[in-house]
Amino acid sequence: MTQTVSQALAKRGGQDPAARQEGQRPDKLIERYMGDFAAVLPGFLRPETFVRIAQGVLRRDPKIARVAEANPGSLLAALLDAARLGHEPGTDAYYLVPYGTEIQGIESYRGVIQRMYRSGRVRRVKAEIVRERDHFEYSPADDVPAHRVDWFAPRGEIVGAYAYAELADGSVSRVVIVDRDYIERVKRQSRGSDKPDSPWVRWEEAMILKTVVHRLEPWVPTSVDDLRAAHVAPDAPAVSTPHHPRPLPVEQPIEGEVVPDSDVTGAGEPELPADWPAPAQPGSTGIHP
């Protein structure tokens, strides 16, 4: 009789050495469920490569390995999400972050931009931080903002950010702008944003760019599959598949740690196989950042 992951973890109980030999370590679980990753991976990512990269993250980062050992369900859920989005885990497109008692999978702004380029209908994505001494002007009548920076003088505090995309047909997407109040609202609604290991504390600029790029996403074509090779040269007419932007909430921040990516991309939460271990409840393992 084939033993499910849930049964194996139950047998493992209090770190049973015999159970460890049955292949229940996180690196072995990743390999065991290669077929589940393969079911959602886009064609340009080989399942074997994805598994080796994920296992490599565990070898490189002892903290991730320790939390994954205690809560393998959270690791597998994050890896399945990375596979669904077409990202290699543990890279600057998709972070694996040990947060308290679980592994969080976080698609970075670079990852969102990668999916925009994969559509084959985006020439360029512009996402920039604006500081208080920068020159910044934008009117809805303008195609793009005017943003000038003195790189050799103090720029002051961050006051906002903006993003837009230049499309293959020569047009420009909607310009999305977020001010400091909006950024702070997103940050306050992000779990543990004031803790020392929070991405908001460690990588504030990256999180602000992620926030504004997520707000841009409904207005720009994206793809999990890499469709660039299927498109004609940049100077030729763009493929005429219409892109209908989804409604953009006014009061609800769109950011990976506030609103699930499924609400932004329309792709839905990854469906976990029935025999995968459920992520442990916070506080159940005693592991702390």
Tens digits of residue pLDDT in 156-214: 999 999 999 999 999 999 999 999 999 999 999 887 788 887 889 888 999 999 999 99
DSSP states of 249-264 = -SSS---TTTS-HHHH
Residue type, 76: L
Residue 74 has pLDDT above 70, yes or no: yes
175 versus 5: the higher-pLDDT residue is 175
Per-residue pLDDT averaged across 41-54, rounded? 96
Stretch 84-110: mean pLDDT:
94
**pLDDT for res 199:** 84
Looking at per-residue pLDDT, the higher value among 189 and 222 belongs to 222
pLDDT attached to residue 100:
85
- Specify the pLDDT at position 231: 58
pLDDT tens across 121-148, in order?
A: 999 999 999 999 999 999 989 999 999 9
> Mean pLDDT throughout 274-284?
45
What is the pLDDT, as a whole number, of residue 99?
A: 83
Give the per-residue pLDDT at 23: 56
Query: Looking at residues 93-98, what average pLDDT do you find?
Result: 94
Rounded to whole angstroms, the Cα distance separating 238 from 250 reads 31
Residue with tokens 């047998």: 11
Q: Is residue 18 over pLDDT 90? A: no
pLDDT band at 102 (very low <50, low <70, confident <90, very high): very high
204-229 burial by CB neighbour count: b if 16+ within 10 A, else e? Answer: bebbbbbbbbbbbbbbbbbbbebbee
Q: Mind listing the pLDDT tens digit for each residue in 253-266?
A: 333 332 223 322 22
**pLDDT over 90 at 19, yes or no:** no
- Residue pair 161/132 in contact (Cβ under 8 Å)? The answer is no
Mean pLDDT of the chain: 78
Q: Helix, strand or coil for residue 147?
A: strand
Q: What is the dihedral of CA 7, 8, 10, 16, to 10 degrees?
A: 160
For the ranges 15-24, 163-172, 237-246, which has the lowest average pLDDT? Answer: 237-246
Query: Which alpha helices (H) appear in the chain, and where do they start and end?
Result: 5-12, 17-20, 26-32, 34-40, 47-60, 62-70, 72-85, 109-118, 180-188, 199-202, 204-216, 261-265
Q: What would the mean pLDDT of 12-36 be, rounded to a whole number? A: 69
- Taking the C-alpha atoms of 46, 56, 261 and 219 in order, what is their torsion angle to the nearest 10 degrees? -60
Query: Which of 78, 33, 92, 82 has the alpha carbon at shortest distance from 275?
Result: 33
Q: How far is CA 155 from CA 131, 144, 163, 174, in A?
A: 6, 21, 19, 26
Q: Higher confidence at residue 278 or residue 81?
A: 81
Do 238 and 228 touch, CB atoms closer than 8 A?
A: no
> Where residue 230 falls among pLDDT bands split at 50, 70, 90?
confident
